[in-house]
Amino acid sequence: MNGSATDEQNLFVCAPKGESALVRLADHFFREVQAFGVLTSSSTITDEMCGAYISTRGGFIKSFLETLTMFCDLRFATHSRIPFCYNRAEWPGGAPIEGYTPAEPEVLPADVATSLMLNVQQRATGSLFSRLLTCAVRRLAGTGDLRDTVTYLFDLHQAGFAGADEVTETTCLLLRAHSQAGSREALVERCMRHATPDEIDWMTDVPDFEWVDESPLGKEGKAVLTLLFQRASRRVEEVRGAQDLDQWVLGQIHIDGLLTAVIRLFHELVENIPLPYQARLAQWEEIVCDAHALLMTSRAGFDTLSAKARISSAHLMGQAIRQRAGTAWQDRLYQERLLVPAQLRAHYFSEPAGQFPPQWQHLSWRVIHPWLTAVAPGTAPSAVVRTSQTGQPSGESPGRGGERDIAEDLLADFETIHRLHEEHRYAEVEQHARSTLRRHPYMENLYAELAIALDHQNKPEAAREELLTGIFLNPHNPLLWHSLSVVLHRTGSHEEAAFAMAFSRFIASEARSADSGQRHEG
């Protein structure tokens, strides 16, 4: 599954050990749900937008994770450490309401993914705040550590489980309550109305914070703010060191919420902010504006992520800094703002701008679905086309006038590919399919054609990877699952092949049932 410059440890384990392809697919699906949470965490998201994503992607992802759990005992790996927060609709009885994976008692991948999606939806309706308060008090009661509890809340935000506003409000209230109560025991006792631990039902009892006033922070509360300040500083540098456009965009959206939260907490809870902190907070306010603009301007057109647009934006900001910094303007722009990734510094500041590496030219298939949910609801990934006006790819949705030409060009590409298949010229099929994918990187059928060509060239492992990418883009395509089954048989993964074939038949059956229902209604 190509498309990212980074290799991350798989979040899951599965038995028997041979199910690596399906486990990797599960890992990518779960990370997409996290990306969905992150990309909607610092913006206005509607209940309709959430519902659209859950119906088109989320429902399948949940079913796939559940089925894989039954098929090969899918579980979180010991190193996964994904923060989670319960939901009232579908949380398994006996499971902890908060914590990190792998938890004890165990929470399953489908449960965590479903809870994340439901929490995003409840964020849209404004009903998540009380749940975060409950998780915070429960964690404080269990660990007894205020720093750990606030770290958990901000980990939820970074993982897509909670929005910046809810985390800020929860943290502010928690720090004030802790300072006023004097200890974590007193805080838990007052919040839970003097109930004993055995009497508390954490799924239904809502903590009481009505007694909290605006008392000044104590020593421990101030230490927590210092911890958050350090976290924000590290995160800025992490985003600056992004390895590809996916990391850069997700990092920018996370930075928008994180820095906004830290700035707000300092202004609300610290009466006299020390001068060194004031200077950094002011700098962060400018970074927040830059990050926020990424999402806002992207709603006006997908091409705002193009290489040309990004360089132009950085140079425009550089003009203002140049007047103050003179010849050192490039260093000042790089250090004070978060407009230029470290990997592309030379590309941004060279004349003419250098060719971007492939992983920086457009968003990968890993995040395209949640990205479009956030910036262009209703747009299918296959409708996004890469055109070139400056000699390098850019992200664009076709204008109405160009849709017919684009469709005709794509049809001509498929006709060429099919003709080459019929003539058994598979190396040329591979070459032409890859060339077409540079303009249509989210067209799942192109990955299927590429996989067939690779398989005919006795490259079944490579064919498998292309099919996994196609399935990720459109998991409702039964032909892709059928092809995956054939290739998995060729690589010796017979149990996985049987699973893929069963999934192909199930999806085809579901599609026939849906068509039959529509005809009946008509």
- Per-residue pLDDT of 448-475, as tens digits, reads 999 999 999 999 999 999 999 999 999 9
Question: Which has more pLDDT, 323 or 189?
Answer: 189
CA distance 231 to 223: 12
Residue 500: pLDDT over 60: yes
Q: What is the pTM of this model?
A: 0.89
Environment class of residue 102 by beta-carbon count within 10 Å: exposed (0-12), middle (13-18) or buried (19+)? Answer: middle
If pLDDT is split at 50, 70 and 90, which confidence band does 400 have? Answer: very low
Say which range, 35-44, 232-241, 378-387, has the weakest mean pLDDT. Answer: 378-387
pLDDT for the residue 450? 97
For 373, the token pair is: 């949910």
Question: Which has more pLDDT, 343 or 265?
Answer: 265
pLDDT for the residue 359? 87
Give me the mean pLDDT over the 290-307 stretch. Answer: 65
What does the pLDDT look like over 352-377, one tens digit per residue?
Answer: 555 788 888 888 999 999 988 887 77
If pLDDT is split at 50, 70 and 90, which confidence band does 398 have? Answer: very low
What does the pLDDT look like over 196-248, one tens digit per residue?
Answer: 777 888 988 889 999 999 888 989 999 999 999 999 999 999 999 999 989 99
Written as one string, the DSSP assignment of 138-205 is HHHHHH--HHHHHHHHHHHHHTTSS-HHHHHHHHHHHHHHHHHHSSHHHHHHHHTTT--GGG--TTTP
pLDDT for the residue 385? 66
453-468 b/e (C-beta count within 10 Å ≥ 16 → b): bbbbeebbebbbbbbb
User: Hey, is 522 helix, strand or coil?
Assistant: coil
Closest Cα partner for 21 from 375, 464, 419? Answer: 464
Written as one string, the DSSP assignment of 336-374 is HSSSS-GGGHHHHHSSSPPPPPGGGTS--TTTHHHHHHH
Residue 392: pLDDT over 50: no
Give me the mean pLDDT over the 251-269 stretch. Answer: 95
If pLDDT is split at 50, 70 and 90, which confidence band does 519 have? Answer: low
Contact, 329 vs 322, CB < 8 A? yes
CA Rg value for the chain: 25
Give me the mean pLDDT over the 40-55 stretch. Answer: 79
If pLDDT is split at 50, 70 and 90, which confidence band does 32 have? Answer: very high
Closest Cα partner for 460 from 486, 478, 436, 482? Answer: 486
What does the mean pLDDT of the chain come to?
85
Give me the mean pLDDT over the 397-413 stretch. Answer: 67
Residue 308: pLDDT over 70: no
pLDDT for the residue 19? 56
41-65 b/e (C-beta count within 10 Å ≥ 16 → b): bbbebeeebbeebbeebbebbbebb
Say which range, 9-23, 179-193, 407-421, 466-480, has the weakest mean pLDDT. Answer: 9-23
What does the pLDDT look like over 153-162, one tens digit per residue?
Answer: 999 999 999 9
Q: Which amino acid is at 72?
A: C
CA distance 75 to 101: 10
Name the H helices within 183-306.
184-191, 219-240, 245-269, 275-298
pLDDT for the residue 299? 62
Residue % of the chain over a pLDDT of 70: 84
Distances, alpha carbon 173 to alpha carbons 141, 212, 223, 251, 428, in Å? 16, 8, 16, 27, 63
pLDDT for the residue 408? 84
pLDDT for the residue 40? 85
- Which one-letter DSSP state was computed for residue 20? H
